[in-house]
Structure 1
Amino acid sequence: MPTANPEESKMSFWSHLDELRKRIVNVAIAVGIGFVLCFAYSEEILGLLLLPMNATVAFSLHFPFVAFTPNKTVQTLHFTALTEPFMSHLKIGFIAGIMLMVPVLLRQVWLFIAPGLLPRERKYAGQFVFFATIFFAVGVLFCFFILLPIAVPFLISYKAEHLTPIIKIGDYIDFTLKFMLATGAVFELPLIMILLGRMGIISVDSLTKFRKYALLIAFIIGGIVTPTPDAFNMTIMSIPIYLLYEIGILGVRILGRKKDPDSTSLTEI
């Protein structure tokens, strides 16, 4: 029986390490470009982020299908440190830059893991990057147009008869951008499930049996990724996560690998 050459193993390890370094450099360059672009328009981005706080969203069947109507009472953001406005705009540039460059980041992740995949798995590279970008964008838009217009007014008006909101710009940007980033990431769940189903790692049967635990895990994940620890935001984040799990089951049922009657499923071992 042939034995592995230690020198070849060492070279393989260092080649993988070098590949990881290249991907990290590419990711850093992409995020840097995204940061510069978004920082240049940080004031405009901040104006958009203020819409869920100072306007009411309305949907229609006519173009542009969605519109924000300004509220009569306008909330203003405050700062308590001299550097806070500047640092907040830097934060906008960085987090928005990451979201802008998601297609590049996903491409770099795929290129790093591709050498370890089978040829039949590598052929899904383009589809993976395309649909992962679409799912992420849908998640970000869902958060901006649905979740934030619900969460922000609720939190501002909560016990308003006893409290006066003084919202710091840094806290508000943290809440909105991280909420959008987390929602975009969570919306990748159906795609990941379909990908694992195509590889034969999971099946519809195993996902259906696991369904009774999915709701609990959805609330746990919702509590982790929600920027604030309150139960309201955790709930409005957790319900979509569970619905995404159900969409993932449907996707695996339609697009997953068909069970070979002569083979044993991984879930049956």
Structure 2
Amino acid sequence: MTDNNTGLPLTTHLRELRKRLIICFIATAIGFSISYYCSDRLYDILTAPLVPALPPDAGYLVFTGVAEPFFIYFKAGLLGGVVLASPVILYEIWAFAAPGLYAKERVWFAAIVLASLALFAAGVVFAYFIVFPFAFKYLLSFSTAGLRPMISMSGYFSLAAWLLFAFGAVFQLPLAMLVLSMIGVAGARQFIRWWRYAVVVILIAAAVLTPTPDVFNQMLMAGPLIVLYAMGVVLAAIFGKKKDAMEL
């Protein structure tokens, strides 16, 4: 621990935490105010992958409640507000945690946070530009002359938000493997030994998280995850503990 953080009472830490949380809340509120003003545009961006897949005579979304559009735009604005405020939020987390870390730990903490953000963004971009168009085209291919889609705003928003978050989360795989190797839980040798089990788990996760039952769309998710697993093995071999991790 650094000298300026040694022996500080708990109340001091709580006051500091309260200060950081208030700043994060204010930043999110400002971001929300900006995003809500453009919430209709944000929703248009979110629905852009869906619209081309809709039948010509059903190329729009519907709402089934009087207040549904308001709440959807509110959620879109809140989501955009968190994104806009994320630099401030991340800085406040850093400012709160950094005094209690050694210099080397600060470097690793910053690197892990930045890598996590990059991987999450990569997962979101992959889902939006690759998975969404194929998945929605497949799902809406069941439309017939007597069976037309009537997709609600809330239903689509919930599905899209869940998928974006899910892909962003699963793209953290190599980072999680790196952390496990750094703390000695598992090393590159263990990850290589477990690759068959990893592939099975990845295929199951792809089947659960992908909204379509066809193999093609499931492989759109499973393929990158297998590549990310291999990347995690490489990172564990380079940056993990040099001694063999404990056998599990």
TM-score grouping bracket, smaller chain normalisation: 0.7 to 0.9
Code of the aligned partner of 2:110: G
The match for 2:136 among 148, 152, 158 is: 152
Instruction: Tell me: CA distance 1:77–1:151, structure 2 relative to 1, closer, same or farther (3 Å).
Output: same
Question: Offset of 1:140 from its aligned partner?
Answer: 1.5
Question: Offset of 1:86 from its aligned partner?
Answer: 0.9
Q: Aligned to 1:231, what secondary structure does the other structure show?
A: coil
Question: Offset of 1:99 from its aligned partner?
Answer: 3.7
The answer for the alignment partner of 1:251 in structure 2 is: 235
Is 1:47 the equivalent of 2:48?
no
Question: Offset of 1:26 from its aligned partner?
Answer: 4.0
**Backbone CA RMSD of aligned residues:** 3.4
Code of the aligned partner of 1:249: V
Code of the aligned partner of 1:34: G
The answer for the alignment partner of 2:226 in structure 1 is: 242
Is 1:38 the equivalent of 2:35?
yes
Question: Offset of 1:242 from its aligned partner?
Answer: 3.3
The answer for the alignment partner of 2:67 in structure 1 is: 83
- Partners of 1:200 and 1:111 lie apart in 2 by 27
- Partners of 1:189 and 1:144 lie apart in 2 by 19
Question: Offset of 1:111 from its aligned partner?
Answer: 4.9
Higher strand share: 1
| Greater RCO structure (CA 8 Å; 6+ sep) | 2
Is 1:142 the equivalent of 2:139?
no
Question: Offset of 1:238 from its aligned partner?
Answer: 4.1
The answer for the alignment partner of 1:215 in structure 2 is: 199
Query: Structure 2 unaligned runs (5+)?
Result: 1-6
Alignment of 1:54-69 (within 5 A): 54-55=51-52
The match for 2:176 among 188, 192, 214 is: 192
After TM superposition, the score normalised by the length of structure 2 is 0.77
Question: Offset of 1:147 from its aligned partner?
Answer: 0.9
Instruction: Tell me: CA distance 1:182–1:40, structure 2 relative to 1, closer, same or farther (3 Å).
Output: farther
- Partners of 2:236 and 2:199 lie apart in 1 by 18
Question: Offset of 1:33 from its aligned partner?
Answer: 3.0
Is 1:124 the equivalent of 2:105?
no
Is 1:167 the equivalent of 2:151?
yes
Is 1:267 the equivalent of 2:237?
no
Question: Offset of 1:112 from its aligned partner?
Answer: 5.1
Contact kept, 8 Å, 2:62 with 2:153, in 1: the verdict is yes
Higher helix share: 2
Q: Aligned to 1:267, what secondary structure does the other structure show?
A: coil
- Partners of 1:71 and 1:163 lie apart in 2 by 11
Question: Offset of 1:250 from its aligned partner?
Answer: 2.3
- Partners of 1:138 and 1:21 lie apart in 2 by 32
Q: Aligned to 1:37, what secondary structure does the other structure show?
A: helix
Question: Offset of 1:54 from its aligned partner?
Answer: 2.3
Paired residues, number: 240
Percent identity of paired positions between Structure 1 and Structure 2: 32
Is 1:182 the equivalent of 2:166?
yes
The answer for the alignment partner of 2:4 in structure 1 is: none
Contact kept, 8 Å, 1:102 with 1:133, in 2: the verdict is no
1:55-79 per-position Cα deviation (integer Å, ceiling 9, x unaligned)? 38xxxxxxxxxxxxx9966610101
Q: Aligned to 2:50, what secondary structure does the other structure show?
A: helix
- Partners of 1:266 and 1:116 lie apart in 2 by 27
1:169-193 per-position Cα deviation (integer Å, ceiling 9, x unaligned)? 1111222233223222322222333
- Partners of 1:209 and 1:83 lie apart in 2 by 54
- Partners of 1:231 and 1:214 lie apart in 2 by 21
After TM superposition, the score normalised by the length of structure 1 is 0.72
1:219-269 per-position Cα deviation (integer Å, ceiling 9, x unaligned)? 454466x385x5356664444333322222223334x1461xxxx544249
